[in-house]
Amino acid sequence: MIYDIAWSRYRHAVQVFGGRKMYKVLSLIALGVATPAAAASQTVYDTSLYALNVGASPADPAYARTVDAGNGTVTYSTGARVSAPSAFDTWQQSDVGGLGVVGITKDFAHDGNGSLVFGGTNAGSKADLVYYLSSPELLDSFGGASYDWYRSSVSGTASYLVPSLRILLTNNGQFGSLIFEPIYQGTVVTDDQWTHSDYNFQSQVWNSNGKLTNPTGNYTNSLFDWAIANPNAVVVGFSTGSGSGWSNNFAGAVDNISWRFGEVNTSSFNFEVAGVPEPTQWALMIGGFGVVGAISRRRRRAVAAA
């Protein structure tokens, strides 16, 4: 159901942005070809994320839950999730519910003053950040991806669970994803430590909704195996997130997400909290301070000489 909703939201994004872009996207998916997007390396600030109501209490409809009338207990469902409005070429919250949270904060700062933080309190907690491509690419043109991830020692869920990185795909009209998790690469998870992971055709990945042709065993195939079994698969986006069935609480983070198609068409994203000048801005400011100081010194000398 989650992936059906995601596919519906992607189609809605195509319709919203309509016109030539709609024709381009539909043509790319129909013909199985893609026009490479311009290479991009950018900072994503907390202020650029949509103000999302994720449900502050059980009285809030956005707080995903179901009530067992038989014994009065409350369980946390995977439905009733909230997402930001559909958009292309920008990071946006997706499928946030059950007291799952996602945001750019200073809690686990990395490579700057912030990072993309995920949290949850129970098995129903879920939170993702998604990026839809306005120009889809064939899966076989995928050149690789990477991200940095962090798991806090306050987490009570299974020790191998950390935020995943997913390739979002269409395949013969169906929407699915290939999910990269460090545990299936043999990576040892160390709490309170940032770890870098690379996602390539040798990586062990899996699909959770059955919309892709399964090569053999779902958790034992490489991305290469999936690409061979699904020759018409087209990459329509990427996502990262945590939760959905993760018992107990979780706290962690992601930063420095990147991917490429071909050899040089690379996109990379660093997540930061707004309000702190970038290094280039610091350089300009320091240079400006130097100019002001020089002018001030010349004025003092001129006054003394008079």
In angstroms, the CA 120 to CA 99 distance is 6
- Provide the residue range defining the domain that includes 292: 280-306
- The tally of domains found in the chain comes to 2
Q: How far is it, in rounded angstroms, from Cα 301 to Cα 297? A: 6
Residue 74 region, left (φ>0) first, then alpha (ψ -120 to 50), else beta? beta
DSSP 204: B
In this structure, are 34 and 149 located in the same domain? yes
CA distance 181 to 161: 8
pTM over 0.95: no
182 shares a domain with 234: yes
pLDDT digits (tens, 9 = 90+) for 247-294: 889 999 999 999 999 877 789 999 999 975 555 544 443 444 344 344
Which token pair is 215? 């090569």
Quick one: pLDDT band at residue 218, thresholds 50, 70, 90? low
306 and 258 part of one domain: no
In this structure, the answer to whether residues 80 and 133 fall within a common structural domain is: yes
Q: Are 103 and 235 in the same domain?
A: yes
Say if residue 21 is in the same domain as residue 158.
yes
286/234 same-domain check: no
CA distance 165 to 226: 16
In what helix (H) or strand (E) does residue 41 lie, and over which residues does it extend?
Answer: strand 40-45
Q: Is the pLDDT of residue 43 over 60?
A: yes
**Residues 293, 265 share a domain:** no
Please give the residue that has the higher pLDDT: either 218 or 77.
Answer: 218
What's the mean per-residue pLDDT of the chain?
77
Please name every residue paired with 305 in a beta bridge, in sequence order, or none if there are none: none
Position of tokens 């490579």? 111
Whether the Cβ atoms of residue 114 and residue 234 lie closer than 8 Å to each other: no
Joined together, the tokens standing for residue 162 give 């950390």
CB proximity list for 77: less than 8 A, separation 6 or greater: 64, 65, 66, 98, 124
| Lowest-confidence pick of 3-12, 20-29, 71-80, 260-269 | 20-29
Q: What is the CATH number of the domain that holds 38?
A: 2.60.120.260
**Residue 227 phi/psi, 5° resolution?**
-65, -40
132 and 36, same domain (yes or no): yes
C-alpha span between 79 and 95 (Å, rounded): 9
Of 166, 232, 176, give the one whose Cα is nearest residue 205.
Answer: 166
pLDDT at 214: 84
For residue 201, which of 138, 145, 135, 133 has the smallest C-alpha distance? 145
Same domain, 48 and 188: yes
Check whether residue 27 and residue 123 sit in a common domain: yes
Q: Which has the closest alpha carbon to 237: 31, 54, 37?
A: 37
Residues 227, 290: one domain? no
* Strand order across the 91-97 sheet: 91-97, 126-138, 234-243, 164-171, 174-180, 205-206
